[in-house]
Structure 1
């Protein structure tokens, strides 16, 4: 049996920010990562950017993104389903993250333009999520943080809101700590848990990130009296290429071309407005939309005029010289797809196409409409991507307060337990998603959790 000041369970962005912050407060910190060193970091490995409030343009951001605008964006994507106190606290604290993260060795790249429309709001990691992780690990190790890999926690001992110890399954080693930071993700890779809420449809879900996020730590905490937060059916779910692997395909399997075409189900019927809003604010609705379609499959259909307007997937689009032949390749009814495309084309009203703004290219008299970026699909060859729901992380989690301290079922703050990242994201994300906000939640609350856990241990 060993004892430390702060035990951090998890190995991604939130966990490392917590470990670094705790170490900088003088705590002796141990990080337990379930994977090996190569696969460390969970979903953070696949990320690219972080959404942070800032009051002016910088070397890496093209303009200001004030706190109130950030909050309004959050309200819009969550339909108001957020804890306003925690959300505003996170947004305010995010203003320091651009500098704090850089002080931990992470490098930012110049702002990006194009269809992402994130150059003003989101800072991008130079080298992506893996480079960001490597920098955080290097800093943590330099500060003396102990990292243990292949150390999956299978049991936690909690007594009346006080963490006592964690047990590592492979060795049955029991580790005591004065404070706990849980940063071990959600339960998105636990298909059986997903099926409790989604039924057999969950068998057709693809998990964009790690296969290690089985929700073990979340379940242990909830079973030991921590108050839960969030809707178990809500998650960050996007449309990804149906040819992607079951686990860990990452961001290169995501498809960003919905706004440039139409999306049909296996019956070749449209089912939602593809041009509802700027893509970073609406892309994460498409996983749930596809999940509600027959056999959880859909197809993004577009023509040659749109082929170079978006970042391609890892897999090439399916191509055919006519809509009928494209339907045959997709296994769809050719007449049905031709009818859907023809009805769409007839409803398109001409305007000035501009993918960077909410333009005036729309349909008229069509249900569902396409509100923006509607252009006739008529220039061959024609293309399609098959898509399935890609689950990034789930929103059921542990309730926390502004200090990232867990709250018990009886509303008492836990004695020495803190949480950060996906495992508590449901406090901020009741539903929906905006690009980069997962990393914001992880970094901001990770830093807070580590700092407060260290102070708690010291006292």
Structure 2
């Protein structure tokens, strides 16, 4: 019998499989996707948010625990388990050496518009390279891997894992199990259920999926039905305002539009609806998908002038360009008088100080709602550009409630041999909001914990089985 069964194929699953194998357990990993699409959303990532008290290899300056915690507290609005959040934060400070031993390489610090050289360690080659490195290491260590193997249900006995059942009816027993199969962001029906209707139209029908098409939430739904303790809100997710021309699935990081803080964002009525300069973009970019989702038709436009060009990572697709603001309004199909009223009011409200996109500067608006807190410059220098935005779902936050052991809980009781990591439990730390790189921090921390504890549970089960056999023989 296999010691540890890992269900999933992304970062958290791989960390669990590697840790369990290093602990001496036999490990089988089941990935729903084909080999070419393995890795789930982790393949689309770029970095890991890391606590450090002093400069460390690719990380500059310092990013202490309390600052990391305050950043997380701010974006979640307090919807986070502090004990588990601090566990993740501390674990982020000492995981890079282990990652390197498994083939992950980090690139030199970045600077410029991303503002994350101090807080985030970037993977050389991005998430795809990280995933491939982990798979190579897992194969070298003897982890068994099966692709195109979706799990439908689990056999459970009073919270104890017995076996997994595949879509083809096959039953796979193991001494312990780690659930790391992702959320339900690719399940359109579940998204409809979570977001509902507005004016007779399903809000979620206008969503694009930034990540994998294989996260259907099948196991998550099964665990809800099985009575597992849950955490999070089904409508909360890592939801980014992305280019409306992005593909339906797997657009990844390149679909982001990063100029929001350098201009204004208007909806279909040509009205602004939120503070574009509230905070640095890496701390606020993941709120904008939800904001756009709440607008009519789930669409908006980011408007900039030529002063912003070169200050942000350019999108893959060029924006709509025009020589004047009225011409831009006509080009994107917005009501010209309403658009000009909004832009003229914004321009007149700008109190220009010392513009500096690298700091929370003193360029702000006064007398207009919503205000723009920082980086408020009049849009007055042609050419002008517009980027159409749609909500892009990366991963969902509804998940299994857990504790510092990563155990799945049933009625408050921890399962002795069923553990959870990654998106399936991220809602314990992320009740809402997001800050760049924290998803990988959560997956890495809890993947490693889950793998270690699953190996320990398997050893205990094997020892009990041997002792029982010896006792019966005697």
TM-score band, normalised by shorter chain: over 0.9
CA distance in 1, matches of 2:281, 2:96: 23
Tell me how far 1:347 sits from its aligned partner.
Answer: 0.3
Aligned residue-pair number = 455
Q: Which moved more, 1:154-163 or 1:354-363?
A: 154-163
Query: Following TM superposition, by how much is the alpha carbon of 1:116 offset from its aligned partner in structure 2, in angstroms?
Result: 1.0
* Deviation per residue, 1:24-49 (Å, 9 max, x gap): 00000000000111100010111000
Distance (whole Å) between structure 2 residues aligned to residue 404 and residue 385 of structure 1: 41
Match of 2:434 in 1: 433
Per the alignment, in what secondary structure is the counterpart of residue 414 of structure 1?
Answer: strand
Residue 416 (structure 1) aligns with = 417
Match of 2:471?
A: none
Equivalent pair of 1:94/1:440 in contact (CA under 8 Å): yes
C-alpha RMSD of the superposition: 0.8
Partners in 2 of 1:450 and 1:187 — Cα distance? Answer: 23
1:114 corresponds to which residue? Answer: 112
Taking the aligned partners of 2:100 and 2:406, their CA distance within structure 1 comes to 22
Match of 2:128 among 124, 127, 130: 130
Q: Which runs of 4+ in 1 moved over 6 A?
A: none
Q: Tell me how far 1:241 sits from its aligned partner.
A: 0.3
Deviation at 1:373, TM superposition (A): 0.3
Given that residues 234 and 395 in structure 1 are in contact (C-alpha distance below 8 angstroms), is that contact kept between their aligned partners in structure 2? yes
By how many angstroms is 1:172 displaced?
Answer: 2.0
For 1:319-338, list aligned pairs within 5 A: 319-338=321-340
Q: Look up the SS of the partner of 2:121 in the other structure.
A: strand
In the other structure, the counterpart of 2:204 is 202
1:226: how far off? 1.1
TM superposition shift of 1:129 = 0.4
User: What is the distance in 1 between the residues matched to 2:54 and 2:144?
Assistant: 38
Of 245, 267, 272, the residue aligned with 2:247 is: 245
2:152 to 151, 154, 161: 154
Per-residue Cα deviation, 1:55-90 (whole angstroms, up to 9, x for no partner):
210220111111111111111111111111111111
Partner in structure 2 of residue 229 of structure 1: 231
Aligned pairs for 1:255-334 (under 5 A) are: 255-334=257-336
How far apart in 2 are the matches of 1:351 and 1:102?
A: 45
The partner residue of 1:344 within 346, 352, 360 is: 346
Q: Secondary structure at the match of 1:271?
A: coil
Measured after TM superposition, the shift of residue 232 of structure 1 is 1.2
Instruction: Show CA shifts across 1:137-177 (max 9, x none).
Output: 011111100010000111211111011111121x3211001
Shift of 1:415: 2.0
Distance 2:295 2:427 in 1: 25
TM-score (norm. length: structure 2): 0.95
Summarize deviations over 1:96-125 as a string: whole Å, max 9, x none: 112221121100001111111100110000
C-alpha distance in 1, partners of 2:415/2:152? 21
State the secondary structure of the residue aligned to 1:177: strand
Name the SS of the counterpart of 2:25 in structure 1. Answer: coil
Q: Residue in 1 aligned with 2:469? A: none
Shift of 1:324: 1.1
Alpha-carbon distance in 2 for matches of 1:253, 1:89: 32
Hey, what's the Cα distance between the residues in 1 that align with 2:355 and 2:9? Answer: 44
- Retained in 2: the 8 A contact 1:52–1:98? no
What is the DSSP-based 3-state SS (H/G/I as helix, E as strand, rest coil) of the residue aligned with 1:455? helix
Q: Which ranges of structure 2 fall in alignment gaps of 5 or more residues?
A: 197-201, 461-474
Contact conserved, 1:324 with 1:334, CA < 8 A, in 2? yes
1:178 matched residue in structure 2:
175
Structure 1 unmatched runs, 5+: none
* 8 Å CA contact retained: 1:11, 1:42: yes
In the alignment, what sits opposite 2:40?
A: 42
Using structure 1 for the length normalisation, give the TM-score. Answer: 0.98
Partner of 2:457: 456
Return the alpha-carbon distance in structure 2 between the equivalents of residues 84 and 58 of structure 1: 25
